Amino acid sequence: MPANANLSQPSPRIANGASRFAIEVRASPIHRFGVFTGEIIASGERIIEYTGERISYLEAARRSVQPIVYLLWVAPGRIIDGSTGGSGAEFVNHSCEPNLIVDIAEGRVYFVSAREIACDEELLLDYRMRADDRDASPMPCRCGAPGCRGFLNAP
């Protein structure tokens, strides 16, 4: 293993049993890795649960200074860090025109198909990052969608 290997980054994979659909993590034209389908998925299907360590706001703030984070806000005071115990859903990239929506049920987070998704299509979610922090630097969006807002943290 190289001396400069980052051991805190998760390996790019879908956990065994995390989805009943054929999905895989591989290189993405949007950002690093993405999750791609191996079959057609109908609209309204729960594709994968977003899993990981449940952490506090304070711990999320501490971890968010890393260059790559997998934090998902579930509810006030409840955040999931997909880099620890993640299902592979943490590799779903952002798009301003997503094919997934989030379904939160009984404290669990599922990514659900918003429409029929073609075989070999990348699974995409609108991260809906808020731009209410005046000190936050704009985060460029690279989704390439025709209706792209230009930034992940756009109002």
What is the secondary structure of 16-57 as a DSSP string? TTS-SS-EEEEE-SSSSEEEEESS-B-TT-EEEEE--EEE-H
Q: Is the pLDDT confidence value at 134 over 80?
A: no
Average pLDDT for residues 126-130, to the nearest whole number?
A: 79
d(Cα 64, Cα 50) in Å, to the nearest integer?
18
Q: Is the pLDDT confidence value at 110 over 90?
A: yes
Q: Is the pLDDT confidence value at 25 over 70?
A: yes
Percent of the chain with pLDDT over 90: 65
pTM (2 decimals)?
0.86
Report whether 112 contacts 80 (CB < 8 A): no
Report whether 117 contacts 101 (CB < 8 A): no
State residue 14's pLDDT score.
96
Average pLDDT for residues 66-70, to the nearest whole number?
A: 84
The DSSP bridge pattern shows strands 124-125 and 93-94 to be: parallel
Average pLDDT for residues 108-130, to the nearest whole number?
A: 93
State residue 9's pLDDT score.
54
Q: Is the pLDDT confidence value at 106 over 90?
A: no
Q: Is the pLDDT confidence value at 124 over 90?
A: yes
State residue 153's pLDDT score.
79
